[in-house]
Amino acid sequence: MSEIDPITLSVLAGRMEQIADEMDATLFRAAFNPIIAEAHDASHGLYHATTGDTLVQGKSGLPIFVGVMSFAVKAVIEKAAADGDLQDGDIYIFNDAHIGGTHLSDMRLVRPYFRDGELFCYLASVGHWHDVGGAVPGNYNPAATEVFQEAFVLPPVRLARAGEVNQDIIDILLRNTRLPQSAMGDLNGQLGALDLGVRRMDELLDEYGAGTVRAGLDALGHRAEALMRSELDALPDGRWEAEDFLDNDGITDEPLPIRVALEIKGDRMTLDFAGSAPQCAGPVNIALPTTVATAYVAIKHIFPSLPANAGVMRPIEVKVPEGSLLSAEFPAPTGGYTETILRMIDVMFSAFAKVAPDRVVANAYGTINALSIAGKRKNGQPWVMFSFYGGGHGGSPESDGLNHGNAPISTATIPPMEILEAAYPVMFRTWALRPDSAGAGAHRGGMGAVYEIEVLEENGAEAFLFGERGRFAPKGIAEGQDGALNVFTYEQDDGWKTPPLASKMRGIKLRQGQAVRLETPGGGGYGNAADRSAEDVARDVARGFVSEARADALYGPKWREVTA
């Protein structure tokens, strides 16, 4: 490997990150569905030509895709090697979660980038499509027992050959969605993002040369590894454990443990998930690529200064027991992967709090509350409102948790109420913070939220919920207290009802004028509640975040002596 000076390396790192960022922005502007356009549930990056390892990822995309997209690119590398005829302008497409991680809603496009006839790297785009068939509109089927009940499964296939798009593949995709116009718009947006990535890479290599850029990519990986080893070496050696639970798998009402043992020895770390629940019948399973990627996301939260490339994980071993719900085999359902990876991050934070509590925050609300409301308009056209919802983040060593934030697995945003109401026949009766939902602590958790959504379409609608934290609240750390549980209710002719499985239900029939209601968890607290200042408690009461009765119970009456 040729040497590269630090200034050139820094410039190249910024330029390549900008390429990925611009690819992100291109798709966000072009996508038809609000989960990509508004919530930014997508990602782009550059990947190694032979290993598929992540070289650079955009800062606007979802962090979970940093790890899983390397598995997706590896799958394409293997497919191209088997075919033996990779060409410039080829594009592969697939959504198989057991190969590429996450779930079937995430459509992956992988394109080789050639320079002077030689493969230089891969560019990849992934985006959450609004609907990919399956039994439930929006694809979050809480009762699925195999992937075929979740969505259409597409293995890695060649969408384009030497720049010529295969219309047959597009025809298959559009025939397997309730929303073909949305799917076509999102696909064109991803293709446009890849085209832009090729142009920007051409410009970069024209300016610096392939040898210098390749040396820069290698150096970035080595630097990330060295930084990770340095961070670990500064921590004490030892072994620490933590566990938490999923409510159930959507089929059987039994809790599912997620366990981790974190061990540090010098400049290496092991994350051992032995003791986690076995593969289950319902869709909270995740494939091995998703588990490894989630470990990376947690590490990136704990060590935020580390760059986003595969070098970070070289000193870290992730052990996942075979047959567990963290290494599920095809065709096990994986549609609710978000809930399981959130719990993985929670247990890793809880374990790391025993090593260095100043580096972690208490548990966030821990569920995206994937809610689909779907029906048909008067003209017979189907509509599908799929979205996810926010909650409170955990308190930290420095401050209270964020109120009504998005899940810590992503940099996505919650789609605005105005966008959802404009696109679908619904009305939000309530979109507000949820009082008394935060875990108490020296720094309390953030507030959860309350959403009440009424159906306006005269044909009615059907609702489907895939959530978590209905039975096991977000945990506080460093003596902080737990946040509130997740609560879901739905309106029927004889009043408000709750799901038998607490956080998951499908096939909820809603007439015009009826509604569903989500009360999302607050974050866990950080530190002992006795150490919270009376002024902070009084301010929370004055703002309506905490009721007077709960403030008395959690913090004592001293706050009453303060004028907030």
pLDDT tens-place string over residues 266-291: 999 999 999 999 999 999 999 999 99
Instruction: Pick the more confident residue, 139 or 31.
Output: 31
Q: What is the pTM of this model?
A: 0.92
Element (H, E) at 518: strand 515-519
User: Rounded to an integer, what distance in angstroms lies between the CA atom of residue 545 and that of residue 483?
Assistant: 13
**Which of the four pLDDT bands, split at 50, 70 and 90, describes residue 64?**
confident
Structure confidence at residue 456 (pLDDT): 97
- Domain extents for the chain? 6-225, 361-532
Mean pLDDT calculated for residue range 381-389:
91
CA torsion sign for 255, 321, 337, 291 is: positive
What would the pLDDT profile of 123-136 be if each residue is shown by its tens digit?
999 999 989 999 98
Average pLDDT over residues 315-327: 96
Spatial distance between the Cα atoms of 363 and 396, rounded to a whole number of angstroms? 10
385 in Cβ contact with 374 (< 8 Å): yes
**Residue 80: pLDDT above 90?**
yes
pLDDT at 410: 65
414/396 Cα distance (integer angstroms): 22
- DSSP H or E run through 45: strand 42-48
Within 8 A by CB and 6+ apart from 556, the residues are 530
pLDDT at position 1, please?
A: 43
The residue-averaged pLDDT of 386-413 equals 89
pLDDT in tens, 515-562: 999 999 999 999 999 999 999 999 999 999 999 999 999 999 999 988
Angle at 511 between CA 509 and CA 513, to 5 degrees: 135
Residue 411 has pLDDT above 90, yes or no: no
CB 240 within 8 A of CB 262: yes
Give yes or no for residue 147 having a pLDDT over 80. Answer: yes
Confidence (pLDDT) at 140: 84
Question: Residue 307 — very low, low, confident or very high, per pLDDT cuts 50/70/90?
Answer: confident
- Mean pLDDT, residues 328-344: 95
Tell me: pLDDT of 329 over 60: yes
Pairing of strands 256-265, 164-165: unpaired
- The answer to whether residues 42 and 24 touch, using CB atoms and an 8 Å cutoff, is yes
pLDDT > 70: what percent of the chain? 98
CA separation for the pair 435, 433 (Å, rounded): 6
- State the pLDDT at residue 305: 85
> What does DSSP say about strands 316-319 and 268-272: parallel, antiparallel, or unpaired?
parallel
Mean of pLDDT over the chain:
94
Is the per-residue pLDDT at 2 higher than 60?
Answer: no
Alpha-carbon span 503 to 282, nearest angstrom: 13
Tokens of 359: 């580096």
Question: What is the spatial distance between Cα 29 and Cα 126, in angstroms, rounded to a whole number?
Answer: 15
Is the pLDDT at 326 greater than 70? The verdict is yes
Asked if 306 and 224 touch (Cβ cutoff 8 Å), the reply is: yes
Rounded CA-CA distance 428/455 in Å is: 9
pLDDT (tens digit per residue) in 84-117: 889 999 999 999 999 998 899 999 999 999 999 9
Question: What pLDDT, on the 0 to 100 scale, is given for residue 508?
Answer: 97
Per-residue pLDDT of 440-474, as tens digits, reads 999 999 999 999 999 999 999 999 999 999 999 99
Residue 65 has pLDDT above 70, yes or no: yes
- Token reading at 53: 């390892």
Report the chain's C-alpha Rg in angstroms: 24
Contact between 145 and 333 under an 8 Å Cβ cutoff? The reply is yes
Copy the structure tokens of residue 166. 């295969």
